[in-house]
Chain A
Amino acid sequence: MRVRPITTIKTVVAAIEGAGTGIKLFTLADPDHWELPPFKPGAHIDLHLPSGLVRTYSLCNEPADNARYVIAVKREAEGRGGSRALHDEVGIGNVIGVSLPRGGLEPGAGIARHVFIAGGIGVTPFLSMARHLARTGDADFTLHLVVRQEAPLASYLAPLIDAGRIVVHYTSRGGRPDLASLVGEGGSKTLVACCGPESMIDDFERVTATWPAANVHIERFVAPPPVIDPDAKPFMLSLARTGTEIQVRAGQTMLAALQEGGIDISTSCCGGICGACKVGWLEGKPVHRDRILSPYERERYLMVCVAGSEADRLVLDL
């Protein structure tokens, strides 16, 4: 019997190849080469590395190439450790858990012209979109890649560079290109997107400040903080049987806070209908959002997957 729930997609490292100075391409696949969960061009996944680190990388292959996830990783010697672990410790055949793919752009969607602006390794989020658009011909696109003197993933990009779909700008020769001229005129059928260092993103935001938000997309190396319900407030959970205090952050579920605190809670539907996570409460003012407890039961129980708290403190019978 399995004790721990499965929370990630099991993949094995099927290939590792060098792709320019300090860059490796990792191909992740199901152990039986089963199709992997689908993704949109430009989507990213979290890798749960053997050391426990969790790091996010853009998928570089096309959505139609559905039995593998390909990521490009630049070794950052002074980074937070994820790229070093991948470069130095991960080998072919290693098992890596990954998240479901998130984000990405909906190809088509009324857009006739795409302009992608990438700085260095920031090219990765645009690779799957560029290849998808090049193959399907659904919309026009140009990918401007700004590098100091060496383009990352050179052999990977070569067919699109030769076809004129990727334009490489070398700052060591010509300085930084004028983003306004690269972006061109706006319009409802044009989508512009940028991924690169903060200074490049700042310039890009200035250049596109008057554009409609729906036509501008920015991809950051570091994930932005999650969007939190403006009315959500943090509160404290007090566990009566152990005396433990656990903080529930604004917008976080009670269930997630308890699990973070190492409390083992039985769950199943996570939508307030199955009853698996029913817990007694003793003091406070719970906000019940389940669909099954009667008013009488709500006087004593709550479902931690969906319930909240009106008061600053809630005492649970745990």
Chain B
Amino acid sequence: MLDKIDTGSAQRTARLGWTGVVRFLHLAPRAFLPMRAMEQLTLVAGKGIEGDRYMIGREEGFYSHKPEEGRQVTLFELETLIALKRDAGIELGPEEHRRNVTVEGVPLNHLVGRRFWLGETLLEATRLSIPCRHIEEITGKAIFDPLINRSGLNCRILRDGIVRVGDTVRSAA
């Protein structure tokens, strides 16, 4: 059934769309270390983020022993942080979810397999992130269950450049 649905047809008739914004940027050079807030990140096509633990070739992340070409940059929704506070009473900061880019107004779960612009960089979403016990160990907060199905997005970088806080995020479809 699903393979017969043309997902582009509604876009043509109803002008579906979204525009989002980069709210926070973070990186860490090695596993376990606190994520540090940055004003900008340098994204390198096909590689990752300069200075980040998961940059391909650097391999200093907690999951680097499980290499993944499609995990060059990771995104997380600000709306999820707000929902965690509202629905579960858990205050999780943008430096605690351990993804690189916190965006607002971007429906991350809809983007798997699609391309979109993050500022001047072009990304392709490869898969949804999944929650892990490692993040509970680091934060000391019981967030595994509340993050199921909203744990962010893994992407590969198609066109490199500098991403800054405040940059626009928009579909490249």
Cα–Cα, bound, A149→B110 (Å)? 70
Contact in complex: B132, A268 (CB < 8 Å): yes
A38 within 8 A of B: yes
Residue pairs across A and B with Cβ atoms less than 8 A apart, 18 shown, are: A1-B67, A2-B59, A6-B30, A6-B60, A6-B61, A6-B64, A6-B65, A9-B30, A36-B34, A37-B34, A38-B34, A268-B130, A268-B132, A269-B144, A271-B131, A273-B131, A273-B144, A273-B148
Chain A residues within 8 Å of B134, by CB: 270
A32 within 8 A of B: yes
B36 within 8 A of A: yes
Partner of A35, one of B33, B65, B132: B33
Looking at the assembled complex, report how far the CB atom of A157 sits from the nearest CB atom of chain B, in whole angstroms: 29
B137 within 8 A of A: yes
In the complex with contacts A6-B64, A268-B130, A30-B33 CB distance below 8 A: yes
A296 within 8 A of B: no
A55 within 8 A of B: no
Chain B residues within 8 Å of A270, by CB: 132-134
Contact in complex: B133, A271 (CB < 8 Å): yes
Q: What residues make up the interface of A, taking CB atoms closer than 8 Å to B?
A: 1-6, 8-10, 30, 32, 34-38, 100, 266, 268-271, 273-274, 276, 291
Closest A residue to B53 by CB, please name it.
A6
Contact in complex: B133, A35 (CB < 8 Å): no
Contact in complex: A35, B34 (CB < 8 Å): yes
Closest A residue to B33 by CB, please name it.
A34
Partner of A5, one of B34, B62, B130, B137: B62
Chain B residues within 8 Å of A30, by CB: 29-30, 33
**Which 8 pairs, one residue from A and one from B, show the smallest C-beta to C-beta distance?**
A270-B133, A269-B132, A6-B31, A9-B32, A5-B65, A2-B59, A271-B133, A2-B64
Cα–Cα, bound, A14→B67 (Å)? 31
Chain A residues within 8 Å of B34, by CB: 34-38
Closest B residue to A34 by CB, please name it.
B33
Chain A residues within 8 Å of B29, by CB: 30, 32, 34
Contact in complex: B65, A2 (CB < 8 Å): yes
Contact in complex: B133, A4 (CB < 8 Å): no
Partner of B130, one of A37, A38, A266, A273: A273
B125 within 8 A of A: no
The B interface, classified by DSSP as helix, strand, loop or mixed, is loop
Contact in complex: A1, B32 (CB < 8 Å): no
Looking at the assembled complex, report how far the CB atom of B10 sits from the nearest CB atom of chain A, in whole angstroms: 31
Partner of A37, one of B33, B63, B65, B136: B33
B112 within 8 A of A: no
Cα–Cα, bound, A100→B60 (Å)? 16
Chain A residues within 8 Å of B32, by CB: 6, 8-9, 37, 100
B44 within 8 A of A: no
Contact in complex: B61, A269 (CB < 8 Å): no
Cα–Cα, bound, A315→B137 (Å)? 30
Name, among A2, A3, A274, the residue most crowded by chain B CB atoms within 10 Å (CB to CB).
A2
Name, among B29, B32, B131, the residue most crowded by chain A CB atoms within 10 Å (CB to CB).
B32
Contact in complex: B132, A37 (CB < 8 Å): no
Looking at the assembled complex, report how far the CB atom of B136 sits from the nearest CB atom of chain A, in whole angstroms: 8
Partner of B66, one of A32, A35, A268: A268
Interface digits, B120-146 against A, CB 8 Å rule (1 contact, 0 not)?
000000000011111011100000100
Cα–Cα, bound, A314→B138 (Å)? 32
Contact in complex: B131, A6 (CB < 8 Å): no
Other contacts beyond A4-B65, A30-B29: 19, CB < 8 A:
A2-B64, A6-B65, A9-B31, A9-B32, A10-B30, A10-B31, A32-B29, A34-B33, A34-B36, A35-B33, A35-B34, A36-B33, A36-B34, A37-B32, A37-B33, A100-B138, A270-B134, A271-B136, A273-B144
B28 within 8 A of A: yes
